[in-house]
Amino acid sequence: MERFKKASSIIEILKQHGHEAYFVGGSVRDLIIDRPIGDIDIATSALPEEVMAIFPRHVPVGLEHGTVIVVENGEPYEVTTFRTESEYEDFRRPSSVQFVRSLEEDLKRRDFTMNAIAMTEEGKMIDLFAGQEAIRLKEITTVGDAADRFQEDALRMMRGIRFVSTLGFSLETKTKQAIETYGHLLEHIAIERITVEFEKLLTGTYCVKGLQELVETKLFSHLPYLQMSEERLLKATQYKWDSFETDIEAWVFFLCCIGEEHPSVFLRQWKFSNKKIKDIVAVLLAIRSRKEREWDTVLLYKTGIHIAEMAERVYEAIIESYNSASVKQVQSLFHALPIKNRQEMNVTGNDLLSWADKKPGPWVAEMLQNIEEAIVQGDLVNKKENIREWLEKCNLL
C-alpha cells in the first residue's frame, strides 16, 4: 500500500475541491492479487480543466480522453475523468467520449471485471461487477456481455489471452466462447497493437497456458503469419518456457519452438523495426552456430557480447539446461578478448599505406581483417610496433 499512500494526496486534494476520486485499473487488481504494482491510475469526477486548475504541475497528455498527468511528490500519475463511450468505430475506437460524474458509468465501460474495481484512499474496495470474486476464482470475465465488449474493441480478445499468460488465470466460459465467435474482428486492428499484446503474452510467466488458449479459441488464425500454424503452436507449448530477460529472447525462443524457417519475413509481418529484426535474426544465427560448437574467441568476437548473452540464455532454455554459469562463462571469455571490436586495434588504414608505400585499394581492408583475426586469436600483440613487425615477417608489406 505504500505506493498508494504516496499518491493518496491527489485523491484528498480532489475531494477537498468537491470531487470524487478513486484508484482504478491494473494497480488495484495487482494489489488484490499481491503482484508487483505498475503505474497507479486515478479516476475522478473532475473534468480535465478542473484537474489542471487544481494541480499546477501537470501535463495535458490526452485531454480528448479526459487524461491529465499530475506530478505529485515527484511522481507522475494519470488522472482521468469518469467517462462513457459512444458507439465504437472500426472495432477499436469509440466515435466519441462523454465525461460523466458517475463512477459506476466509468467502471462498466471497462474490459474485464478484475480491471473494473475502484479503491478509496483508505483502501476500501468498490467492486460493482464482482471483480474480486473473479480474481478469487482466477477467471478472466468481461464486464457485462462478452460479445458487446469484443465488438466494441476487438483488441480486448488479445488482452484477455495476454492476461492468461501474465496472471495464470483462465478464461471464463462465455468470455472464451465469445472470443471463438468474434475472433475475426481482430483483423480490423492495427498489427502494431496486436504485436504489443502478443509480446506481453510471450514474456508472461504462464506463457504456455496463454498459447494453449490462443489455439483453443482459434484466435491464432487471425494473427500475422500464424493463420495455418495450429500444430506449430501446439509444438511450442511442449517446451518449458522460462522468464527471459529481454523481449528479443522471448521472440527468438518462440521462433525456435515453432520451427520458423523464414524469421525475417515472419517478423516483417508483425511490423517490427529493422533494428529489432536485425537483432532477433542475429541471435538466431548465433544459436545455430552455438549448436555446432562451443563458444570460442573468434565466434564470440564476431557475435558480440550482447547478442551472445541472449543466444546462450535461449540455447540453454531450448536444451532445458538453465545453467546460469554458462552465461557467466561467455562473459568471462569475452572480457578476456584482446580487443572487443575493430576500433580497439592499434593500427589504421593510414598506417598500412605509409608502411607499404602502396596506393589505396581493397588490399587495405583485407590486411586489416588479417590483423584483426590474428589479434583475436592471440597470435599477435595489439601494439603498433608488433603489428608492423608481424606484417614484415609474413611478407605482407
Would the annotation count 162 as a binding residue? yes
- pLDDT at position 352 is 95
- 73-77, 80-84, 318-322, 349-353: segment of lowest average pLDDT: 318-322
Would the annotation count 41 as a binding residue? yes
- 45-49, 81-85, 361-365, 372-376: segment of lowest average pLDDT: 81-85
Q: Which of 63-72, 204-213, 233-242 has the highest mean pLDDT?
A: 204-213
Query: Rounded to whole angstroms, how far apart are CA atoms 312 and 335?
Result: 16
- Indicate the fold that domain 239-337 takes in CATH: Methane Monooxygenase Hydroxylase; Chain G, domain 1 (1.20.58)
Would the annotation count 279 as a binding residue? no
Would the annotation count 110 as a binding residue? yes
- pLDDT at position 1 is 81
Q: Phi-psi category of 25—alpha, beta or left, where left has phi over 0 and alpha has psi -120 to 50?
A: left
Q: 105 near 118, Cβ under 8 Å?
A: no
Q: 79 near 42, Cβ under 8 Å?
A: yes
Q: Which residues contact 70 (CB under 8 A, 6 or more apart)?
A: 10, 42, 51, 55, 57, 58, 76, 77, 79
Determine the average pLDDT of the residues in 206-227.
97
- Each residue's pLDDT tens digit, 49-78: 999 999 999 999 888 889 999 999 889 999
Query: Rounded to whole angstroms, how far apart are CA atoms 343 and 345?
Result: 6
Enter the CATH code of domain 1-137: 3.30.460.10
Would the annotation count 62 as a binding residue? no
Would the annotation count 156 as a binding residue? yes
**Among the listed residues 237, 241, 243, the one whose alpha carbon sits nearest the alpha carbon of residue 220:** 237
- pLDDT at position 394 is 87
Q: Which residues contact 386 (CB under 8 A, 6 or more apart)?
A: 380
- Each residue's pLDDT tens digit, 297-306: 999 999 999 9
Would the annotation count 109 as a binding residue? no
User: What pLDDT band is residue 189 in, cutting at 50, 70 and 90?
Assistant: very high
- Secondary structure, 3-state, 62-107: EHHHCEEEEEECCEEEEEEECEEECCEECCCEECCEEECCCHHHHH
Would the annotation count 379 as a binding residue? no
Q: Is residue 324 pLDDT above 80, yes or no?
A: no
Take residue 57 and report the three cell numbers written for it: 504541475
Would the annotation count 378 as a binding residue? no
User: What pLDDT band is residue 89 in, cutting at 50, 70 and 90?
Assistant: low
**Among the listed residues 275, 276, 273, the one whose alpha carbon sits nearest the alpha carbon of residue 251:** 276
Instruction: Tell whether domain 138-218 is in CATH 1.10.110.30.
Output: yes
Query: Rounded to whole angstroms, how far apart are CA atoms 284 and 281?
Result: 5
- pLDDT at position 357 is 81
Determine the average pLDDT of the residues in 161-189.
97
Q: Domain segments of the chain: what residues?
A: 1-137, 138-218, 239-337, 344-393
The domain at 344-393 falls in which architecture? Orthogonal Bundle (1.10)
